[in-house]
Structure 1
Amino acid sequence: GLGTDIDINKAIHWFSQAEKLGNTNAAYQLGKIAFENNDIENAIKHFQYAAQGNISNAWFNLAKIHSNESYAHYDIAKAQLCYSNALNLYITDYKQNPNDYIAYRLGDMYLKGLGTDMNINQAIYWFSEAEKFENANAAYQLGYIYHSEKYGLQNNELASNYFRKALSAYLIRFNNNQTDSELALRIGTFYQYGLGIERDIEKALLWYKKAVELGNIKAQQKIEETNTQQQITVLNLASIAAHMGKIINTETIAAAKQKYTSDSKQLRDEKIQKIQLGHAVSDNPISYDC
């Protein structure tokens, strides 16, 4: 829609003319259009042609197709080969044109082991490169890595710093585009789990409800999950309170036994029996019953 109305049919026409003349970037654009329309056969055809021109995204999208059974071209070995080609090209692309998009993708590929072995140090390196460009998703991923026990790198201070950076950027982004339901959903998770901030279930629910209003089905599941967590928390607190009451009563009985060891057996038994029934140790109207 540059200088004109958006017209996909005319775009396809001119990209097709360019592809016939050997333009692999045009082939990649045609592959994207076909992929978005779930025309997998044509998407593969155009991506394969684009891949001959060493277009990293073409290799990456071919890998996505071959790694997903629903596209009916599932071949994990072929997918890993395509991911590997994409990875190597992305590294070359980044050297020529450093930017957060490529750095983030490389971090994600090393984190998930796409086209390479999973390498958390490389993932951190590339996410850090992306975060230098103020990439909010990279900050989130770094927060997750340092928050999770999975990678053996737990650092609460680093995790909180990265999560706060991500949340601040997400809030600004949502303020500029208040129709992004996925973003509203993600913001809600920060409040639900207390990622870099104090946990606030009410705010989490507000963001989830906003996401639902924008048509996000997953957000409704998060609301149900959050409500369930709240109910479990209330029950747990009640259980803890009851349990603490038993502990206090038990300790009080033990203290009473110690205190009145010099009393006669009859008097001591009498006092302990009274305590067990909820009476005060002395004549003072103090109840030890929690």
Structure 2
Amino acid sequence: MIAYIENMAEKISSALINLYDSAFIKCKPEENVEMKFKCITKVLRILEYKREELNYKFMMNNPMVRGDFVKDKNMKMIEDGCLNFLTFVTEGSQKRLFKDSAVALAGALMGIAQEIGVFGLNKDIDKAFKYYSAASRQNNALGAFRLGLFYEKGTVKAKSYKKAIAYYKHAAKLGLIEAMHTFGTILIYGDLNSHKDTSTGLFYLKMAVKKSNEDYAYPYYDLARIFEADNNVTDIVPDNKYAFLLYEKGAYMGCPNCQYRIGRAYEFGELYQEKSLKDAVKWYLSSAELGQTDAQLGISTFYFTGLRDVIDRDYNKAYTWALKAAVKGHHMASFCVADYIENGIGIKRDITHAMWWYTISSALGNKKAKEKVQELKKRYYSKRKAIKFMGCCSF
């Protein structure tokens, strides 16, 4: 459990530290602006992911997770540097040193920092909305995309799918990879009450794939998915071999969803691949380490059963991997955690603790968990009645 809690800390790679040094330490504020923005964007991706992860943990009030995690010292230094630069660009007379496009991007990034409450700023959705709006008016793609997210979710203003799609389209036309990915998939499936337009959607999704990189490789998964035989997209001719090639490219680029899908293909012999549990475990583990919850549950199962010449049985690891997926809202992982606790697998047996996780799993929609809650309640109260009766009858 200690190792799991330590993984919550906002740790950063040496590559990011080197990028920060090159962009911020070794040059003046108005120099290497593009590199500075690249570094800030990477940092915000890390912090936003961590905030989402923690939101699940605190929302579920998991007693096994501490809230007072320690921030990496390097990250504190980088956050301060990022905020100082964004403030330098967006405020005061120094704005004239930068192009309007740079000022707009800095505003959009400041909006993200304000939205999630990082860089020493308090979380303020209204301020974030103002930053995004100002950036969008200056034709900044990131600002427009974040406004689309706000309108889709109804974060500040009333929920409006029409406005969300309009902002996604605007950002996609400006070339933002996340927007091209989002707008493309919306059109392909007719999501958000939109008119289905497979041809245009496929165009944007393919453009997103072309722009994919190690920081954002997710478009590969959605493009590959629509080429699978069971894709339910009638305008697309299925091609499982092509789908696997796309998954493979995305997997090597670091997309956890692609890695998980390749793992399943090897486990069950799908997409024209021969069964190979060794390869399946390799890809599941890689995906799990990147936070993919289905992969985390899959690895938990493999550690529970063990596989000869592939993976040794390890109940502690089985429990830990299931817990990682459970605290992020995976209903089946929550059920497995409860089952492990109920039976003392990888953790001390504790019926009350198990009941808590079964209840969580039930709340997440697991019908079997609901039955287990009733079963344990009945068993628990019957036992208490029996103890009480024996106490009354003793002399």
Query: In the alignment, which of 32, 49, 57 is matched to residue 181 of structure 2?
Result: 57
Q: Which residue among 105, 108, 127 is the counterpart of 1:10?
A: 127
1:26 is matched with 143
Letter in 1 for 2:131: W
Q: What corresponds to 1:167 in structure 2? A: 285
Q: 1:126 to 1:186 in 2, by over 3 A?
A: same
Q: From the superposition, tell whether residues 192 and 33 of structure 1 become closer, same or farther in structure 2 (CA, over 3 Å).
A: farther
Show structure 1 runs of 5+ residues with no match. 175-179, 228-290
Give the whole-Å Cα distance in 2 for the aligned partners of 1:43 and 1:208.
Answer: 35
Deviation of 1:98 after TM superposition, in Å, equals 5.0
Q: Is the 8 A contact 1:209 1:219 kept in 2?
A: yes
Of residues 104, 113, 124, the one that matches 2:244 is 124
Q: Are residue 208 (structure 1) and residue 325 (structure 2) matched?
A: no
Provide the C-alpha distance between the structure 2 equivalents of 1:118 and 1:130, rounded to a whole number of angstroms.
Answer: 19
SS at 2:236's partner residue? coil
Q: Report matched runs for 1:108-257 at 5 Å.
A: 108-111=225-228, 112=231, 114=233, 116-148=236-268, 151=271, 153-157=272-276, 160-168=278-286, 170-171=288-289, 173=290, 184-191=296-303, 197-198=310-311, 200=313, 202=315, 203-209=317-323, 211-212=325-326, 216-222=330-336
Q: Which amino acid in the other structure matches residue 48 of structure 1?
A: A
Structure 2 residue 217 is matched with structure 1 residue 103: no
Change (3 A) 1:141 1:66: same
- Greater helix share, 1 or 2? 1
Instruction: Quote how far apart the aligned CAs of 1:106 are.
Output: 2.0
The CA distance in 1 between the partners of 2:199 and 2:168, in whole Å, is 16
Q: Tell me the distance in 2 between the aligned counterparts of 1:193 and 1:136.
A: 23
Q: CA deviation at 1:184?
A: 4.5
Per the TM alignment, residue 110 of structure 1 is displaced from its structure 2 partner at its CA by 2.5
After superposition, what is the alpha-carbon deviation per residue over 1:240-275, rounded to whole angstroms, capped at 9, x for unaligned?
Answer: xxxxxxxxxxxxxxxxxxxxxxxxxxxxxxxxxxxx
Q: TM-score, normalised by structure 2?
A: 0.42
Letter in 1 for 2:332: K
Give, as a single letter, the amino acid of the residue that structure 2 aligns with 1:222.
Answer: C
> Which is further off, 213-222 or 28-37?
213-222
Residue in 2 that maps onto 1:283:
none
Q: 1:113 to 1:184 in 2, by over 3 A?
A: same
The aligned counterpart of 1:265 is none
Tell me if structure 1 keeps the 8 A contact 2:284–2:295.
Answer: no
What secondary structure is seen at the aligned counterpart in 2 of 1:116? coil
In the TM superposition, residue 30 of structure 1 has moved relative to its aligned partner by 0.7
Number of equivalenced pairs: 211
Instruction: Check the 8 A contact 2:150/2:164 in 1, yes or no.
Output: no
**2:210 is the counterpart of 1:92:** no
The 1:47–1:26 alpha-carbon spacing in structure 2 relative to 1, beyond 3 Å, is farther
| In 2, Cα distance between equivalents of 1:206 and 1:116 | 40
Q: Kindly indicate whether the alpha-carbon contact (under 8 Å) linking 2:151 and 2:161 is maintained by their aligned counterparts in 1.
A: yes
